[in-house]
């Protein structure tokens, strides 16, 4: 039986190759993801170890181990550095400010740094023993000098000796480039560019004079980290958070691991999708080949082979395909990992990398998943191979007898789809933890796909009839024959369509979700913001001095900063705070008051807050209640609730507090945007020109946009994310198209005699090609229609729990129609080779074909 399985694979090389390809592509993305993330993880661990090589103790600000907002720096007084240096056993101590967001521009005012919207992070130079960077040139030594990351410099054409301007919380400052810097060979950290200055310069740029974010401490020889931590802790007291170097390295690695975990899960999900589509292709391929080999299996039965042996031969063939495909997929995944890293680099995420890490787990997962998926996909066809009578199978032209769909079978199929739907509903509405909810959603979605795939043979006849009518109207008898062929083997047609259904459904769902998000954002912004102009920095870092400067322009009525910060409740739950100038806010935003008014907002004090209605209701708060919020430094701030508002777009967060409170108490030193309202009757074009002139002169990194322009720019950034999803989902669609090619090729072989008869009675080569193309179009459009239907279902389900957050379900009808049209074009493309092969069948040979 082993030789039989091997011979079956070799005799059907094309079918084996396509089946292998389905396994290889699915396994490759899974293996490539694991190799990439393991490599990045090892690289980061090595960098963390290198950066902390001489750091025996690190001092952070209280709460500095949990940075809640990238625009908020948690600091402590620099005077603490002298206290630590005086501790017995300290060899050296150096304070610094790290990861402060800034913006860099060249002499022409063009940005130097990431084009992906990520910020440029500023670091203060530290002594060589603590310095984690490598320099081409040198590190900055005095005020007026800086180093910039190599990637940013190369992209902008910056060289040593050039002068750049850097903008922090105030107007830009000029610096000479004395060094080009990398971190572990990479010119960025997760897409953010690097810049290095003297300590005093960084403090001036980010508005933290006399403050530090961390302090590196080296012990004298013979003193353990634990002992030095005890001594430094006694000296620092509650003014700082003290960790050993090993503890700090472990904490940093844990934070990076959390980030990589989301990256891994995201990429793995696309790999699993590709493998799921491959399972449909494998199932359909084995179903067809089993039907074509009925005579062969019947002969085996007549010479003594048992049902178990026949089934074993089919499963063994699947096992061989699975093992070979998994091995090839693993090798392809190893080659894919650098390409994925390059893809992230093109998107602005230059990740550090070392030699590829191929962990035993990666090998095991790739081999087990690929092999198991292939074998499981072949079990049902293998069982069918054992259910044909040897005498019936020996008849010429014998095929697997059609079986009616029993009620029990139909109930099981409906049950699978229904169970999947129930699991999705539980994941969406049961209030479970994020990880549990996502797990249930994923399992439920897979069961829905499987259930619909099992039920799809029932839908073949009506769908083929509807889809085939336009073809029949234009294609004549050939199109009618194509429709008849699709209906004649509903299981085969449904299985092939189901593979495409998965990919199209997910593409449709992503399109629906993103379109809904864009509509929600646009509507919420239009309703909540009444300002005529929005001044922003693409990296999200607007200096606070823009508002007073803009307010002094002719034609400007009001200019108000909008800050966003984060804090924690006593329970530990994160909350989002919006900071506005109470007096100016009513002129630039329209608040949907539930219990409150613009006059109450203008009277808002430093310890007062306005609460979002759902947030207040969830905690039983109302006007007059007190709420304690902890700052990033763990300082408790007691706010009195002065009103509640409805914010379906979540533009104003959970709490609205005075801008000064958010800046001074929560460390939100940078501004998300400056909202500018023109005087009544002022010409918008003139105000815009004056505002643009101000920015060109004093804030060259910023731009003023009208409300419409701002919405369009934000929607454009969302589209970029959409294209990334489409690119990753394209792999599953490609596998499905190969499945169509495979099915058509096998169908042509199966109908060789039939095609010969058609040619013998006068059918032209063109008509034969039309028959095959028509069948492919019907199958592909059927898969696209089912996929779009399921995508819409998923979109409707997911939108329901998000409705309370302001999400609006907006179906992209044009996109959905395009998906169906593309399905038809994909069918034409997939049919090219099989149709040509069918048209070249020799009539005499075909008539003798058994």
Query: pLDDT value at position 497?
Result: 80
Query: pLDDT value at position 124?
Result: 92
Query: pLDDT value at position 401?
Result: 47
Q: Where are the beta strands (DSSP E) in 6-162?
A: 57-60, 76-77, 90-96, 100-105, 120-124, 134-137, 145-149
Residues 619-675: tens digit of each pLDDT = 999 999 999 998 877 789 999 999 999 887 677 888 999 999 998 888 777 688 899
- Structure letter (DSSP) for residue 141: -
Query: pLDDT value at position 393?
Result: 57
Rounded distance between C-alpha atoms, residue 525 and residue 77, angstroms: 40
- Answer yes or no: are the C-beta atoms of 292 and 742 closer than 8 Å: no
Query: pLDDT value at position 640?
Result: 95
- Answer yes or no: are the C-beta atoms of 533 and 705 closer than 8 Å: yes
Tokens of 821: 């049209």
Rounded distance between C-alpha atoms, residue 705 and residue 713, angstroms: 9
Domain boundary assignment for the chain: 1-55+245-394, 56-244, 457-528+708-850, 544-698
Query: pLDDT value at position 623?
Result: 92
Beta strand 655-658 pairing with 574-580: parallel
742 class by beta-carbon count within 10 Å (0-12 exposed, 13-18 middle, 19+ buried): buried
Rounded distance between C-alpha atoms, residue 34 and residue 39, angstroms: 8
Query: pLDDT value at position 845?
Result: 63
3-state class of 75 per DSSP? coil
| Backbone φ/ψ region at 799: left (φ over 0), alpha (ψ -120 to 50), beta | alpha
- Answer yes or no: are the C-beta atoms of 23 and 375 closer than 8 Å: no
The C-alpha torsion from 768 through 771 and 774 to 776, rounded to 10°, is -80
Query: pLDDT value at position 68?
Result: 39
Query: pLDDT value at position 445?
Result: 85
3-state class of 59 per DSSP? strand
403 Cβ contact partners less than 8 Å away, ≥ 6 residues apart = none
Beta strand 556-569 pairing with 120-124: unpaired
Tokens of 495: 């299985």
Residues of the chain with pLDDT under 50: 67-71, 396-402, 404
Residues 206-224: tens digit of each pLDDT = 888 888 989 999 999 989 9
Rounded distance between C-alpha atoms, residue 208 and residue 669, angstroms: 9
How are the residues of the chain apportioned to helix, strand and coil, as percentages rounded to the nearest 5?
60, 15, 25
Rounded distance between C-alpha atoms, residue 497 and residue 826, angstroms: 12
Query: pLDDT value at position 344?
Result: 65
Rounded distance between C-alpha atoms, residue 31 and residue 86, angstroms: 52
Q: Which residue has the tokens 């359909």?
A: 284
Rg (CA), the chain: 33
Tokens of 643: 């009103």
Query: pLDDT value at position 369?
Result: 86
Query: pLDDT value at position 70?
Result: 47
| Backbone φ/ψ region at 380: left (φ over 0), alpha (ψ -120 to 50), beta | alpha
529 Cβ contact partners less than 8 Å away, ≥ 6 residues apart = 588, 589, 590, 651, 675, 707
């Amino acid at each position: 039986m082993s030789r039989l399985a091997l011979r079956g694979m070799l005799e059907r090389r094309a079918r084996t190759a396509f089946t292998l390809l389905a396994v290889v592509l699915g396994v490759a993305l899974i293996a490539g993801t694991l190799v990439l993330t393991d490599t990045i993880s090892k690289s980061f661990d090595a960098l963390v170890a290198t950066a902390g090589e001489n750091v025996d103790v690190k001092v952070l600000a209280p709460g500095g181990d949990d940075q809640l907002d990238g625009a908020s720096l948690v600091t402590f007084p620099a005077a603490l550095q002298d206290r630590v240096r005086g501790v017995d056993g300290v060899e050296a101590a150096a304070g610094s400010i790290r990861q402060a967001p800034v913006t860099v521009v060249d002499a022409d005012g063009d940005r130097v740094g990431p084009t992906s919207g990520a910020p440029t992070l500023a670091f203060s130079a530290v002594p060589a023993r603590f310095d984690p960077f490598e320099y081409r040139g040198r590190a900055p030594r005095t005020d007026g000098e800086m180093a910039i990351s190599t990637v940013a410099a190369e992209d902008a054409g910056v060289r040593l000796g050039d002068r750049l301007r850097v903008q922090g919380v105030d107007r830009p400052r000029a610096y000479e480039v004395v060094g080009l810097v990398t971190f572990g060979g990479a010119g960025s950290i997760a897409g953010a560019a690097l810049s290095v200055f003297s300590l005093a310069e960084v403090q001036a740029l980010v508005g933290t004079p006399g403050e530090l974010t961390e302090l590196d401490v080296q012990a004298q020889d013979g003193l353990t980290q634990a002992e030095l931590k005890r001594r430094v802790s006694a000296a620092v007291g509650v003014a700082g958070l003290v960790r050993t170097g090993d503890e700090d390295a472990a904490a940093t690695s844990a934070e990076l691991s959390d980030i990589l975990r989301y990256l891994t899960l995201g990429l793995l999900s696309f790999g699993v999708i590709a493998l799921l589509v491959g399972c449909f292709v494998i199932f359909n391929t084995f179903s067809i080949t089993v039907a074509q080999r009925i005579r062969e299996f019947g002969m085996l039965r007549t010479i003594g082979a048992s049902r178990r042996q026949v089934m074993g031969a089919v499963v063994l063939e699947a096992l061989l395909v699975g093992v070979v495909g998994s091995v090839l997929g693993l090798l392809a995944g190893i080659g894919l990992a650098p390409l994925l890293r390059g893809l992230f680099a093109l998107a602005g995420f230059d990740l550090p990398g070392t030699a590829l890490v191929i962990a035993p787990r990666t090998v095991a997962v790739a081999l087990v998943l690929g092999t198991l998926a292939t074998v499981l996909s072949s079990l049902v066809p293998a069982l069918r191979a054992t259910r044909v009578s040897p005498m019936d199978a020996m008849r010429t032209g014998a095929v697997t007898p059609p079986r009616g769909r029993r009620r029990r079978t139909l109930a099981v199929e409906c049950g699978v789809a229904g169970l999947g739907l129930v699991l999705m509903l539980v994941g969406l509405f049961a209030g479970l933890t994020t990880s549990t909810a996502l797990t249930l959603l994923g399992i439920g979605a897979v069961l829905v796909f499987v259930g619909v795939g099992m039920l799809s043979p029932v839908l073949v006849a009506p769908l083929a009839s509807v889809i085939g009518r336009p073809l029949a109207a234009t294609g004549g008898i050939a199109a009618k024959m194509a429709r008849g062929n699709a209906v004649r083997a509903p299981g085969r047609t449904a299985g092939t369509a189901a593979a495409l259904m998965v990919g199209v459904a997910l593409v449709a769902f992503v399109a629906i979700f993103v379109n809904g998000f864009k509509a929600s954002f646009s509507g919420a912004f239009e309703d909540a913001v009444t300002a005529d102009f929005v001044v922003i920095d693409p990296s999200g870092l607007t200096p606070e001095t823009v508002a007073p400067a803009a307010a002094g322009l002719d034609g400007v009525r009001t200019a108000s900063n909008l800050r966003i910060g984060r804090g924690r409740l006593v329970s530990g739950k994160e909350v989002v705070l919006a900071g506005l100038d109470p007096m100016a806010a009513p002129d630039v935003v329209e608040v949907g008051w539930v219990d409150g008014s613009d006059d109450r907002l203008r009277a808002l004090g430093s310890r007062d807050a306005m609460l979002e209605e759902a947030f207040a209701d969830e905690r039983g708060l109302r006007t007059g209640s007190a709420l304690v919020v902890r700052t990033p430094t763990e300082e408790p701030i007691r706010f009195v609730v002065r009103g509640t508002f409805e914010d379906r777009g979540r533009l104003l967060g959970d709490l609205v507090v005075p801008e000064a409170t958010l800046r001074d108490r929560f460390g939100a030193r940078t501004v998300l945007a400056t909202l500018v309202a023109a005087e009544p009757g002022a010409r918008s074009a003139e105000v815009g020109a004056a505002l643009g002139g101000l920015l060109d002169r004093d804030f060259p990194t910023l731009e003023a946009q009208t409300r419409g322009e701002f919405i369009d720019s934000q929607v454009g950034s969302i589209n970029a994310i959409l294209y990334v999803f489409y690119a990753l989902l394209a792999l599953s669609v490609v596998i499905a198209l190969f499945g169509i090619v495979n099915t058509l090729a096998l169908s042509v072989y199966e109908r060789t005699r039939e095609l010969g008869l058609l040619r013998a009675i006068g059918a032209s080569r063109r008509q034969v090609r039309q028959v095959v193309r028509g069948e492919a179009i019907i199958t592909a459009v059927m898969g696209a229609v089912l996929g779009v239907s399921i995508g819409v279902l998923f979109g409707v389900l997911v939108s329901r729990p998000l409705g309370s957050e302001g999400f609006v379900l907006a179906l992209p009808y044009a996109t959905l129609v395009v998906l169906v049209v593309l399905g038809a074009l994909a069918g034409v493309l997939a049919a090219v080779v099989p149709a040509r092969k069918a048209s070249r069948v020799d009539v005499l040979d075909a008539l003798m074909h058994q």
